[in-house]
Amino acid sequence: MKLGIITPVVTRLPRGHARWERDAGIAEVERVAIEADRLGYEFLTCSEHVAVPVEVAEVRGGTYWDPLATFGYLAARTSSIRFATFVLVLGYHHPLAIVKRYGTLDVVSGGRLILGVGVGTLEEEFELLGVELDGRGARGDEAIRALRASFGVEVPAFDGATYRYSDLIVEPAGVQTPPPIWIGGRTARSLRRAVELGDGWAPFAVSSADVTRMLAHAGVTEAWEARTTPIDVILRPERPLDPLGDRDAARRAVDELRAAGATMLSVTFWNDSVDQLCEQLGAMTELVAD
């Protein structure tokens, strides 16, 4: 089972980040990325929010570094770890804007982009950006189809209900055609979207029991049977782990997620410093290997 890490510092959720992260910056992020890269971690993450209302930030947090700038910096300091947007909100961008901006990242990183996408839920942010909240699911599905048709294509073409284009040059448009597309969310609809249109499902705030139930239901659908490639299931423990201080609890969490259907884990850790976090990265790889 492959390991990824929810990157510290760049996203800070209430009661979900370590105290040292408040005063940390790019130097600490770089150190974690380099160590995870050295240890063979599959991916790092970075989430997207443009602006979060103050009262909403009490629940969702208010710190969200821009994925493009963050990953562009880290790409120059690592060699093999991949960069997963976790997630881009599809409605905030035209598909060709994603292709150009993240296609450029795919080029400069040597084809290490993972495009994690979702349809979004923060109504105030939709309103701020002048994007209609209603109908975002159908528009998101079409946007994913447009991304698949356009990523890595110099002269892309697409003809849909919302997005139509042809006879345009988009260069660079990426090395991968397309990159892996992961679908975020926490509902059965997000899983159906992943089965029908994606390469992976990366739910959040969903229990192992619910993941097992939803996967069992999806596994007998026509869309699942029609797939020609396996779908990755990227799960995260319900709470941060400490493979140094409580190895047994970390092992139980890994076993539970594996049993639920995980093919990849996206982990966070309880720690008091970036030094301890780097030690935990190594301990986690040994635990999963065992």
Two tokens at 62?
């208010």
d(CA 280, CA 103): 33
Task: Please name each of the domains of the chain with its CATH number.
Answer: 2-289 (3.20.20.30)
**Residue 205 pLDDT > 90:** no
74-76-80 Cα angle (round to 5): 80
Specify the higher pLDDT residue, 53 or 13: 53
Helix (H, G, I), strand (E, B) or coil at 259: helix
Q: Judging by DSSP bridges, how do beta strands 181-185 and 264-267 pair with one another?
A: unpaired
Confirm if 8 and 271 have CB atoms less than 8 A apart: no
% of the chain exceeding 90 in pLDDT: 95
Q: How confident is the model at residue 11 (pLDDT cuts 50, 70, 90)?
A: very high
Residue 15: left (phi > 0), alpha (psi -120 to 50), or beta? left
Distance CA 279, CA 289 (A): 16
> What pLDDT does 16 receive?
80
CB-based contacts of 255: which residues, under 8 Å, 6+ apart? none
- Which pLDDT tens digit goes with each residue over 144-172? 999 999 999 999 999 999 999 999 999 99
pLDDT in tens, 69-102: 999 999 999 999 999 999 999 999 999 999 999 9
Indicate the residue type of 31.
R
User: What is the C-alpha to C-alpha distance for residues 274 and 143, in angstroms, rounded to an integer?
Assistant: 38
In tens, the pLDDT along 215-251 reads: 999 998 999 999 999 999 999 999 999 999 999 999 9
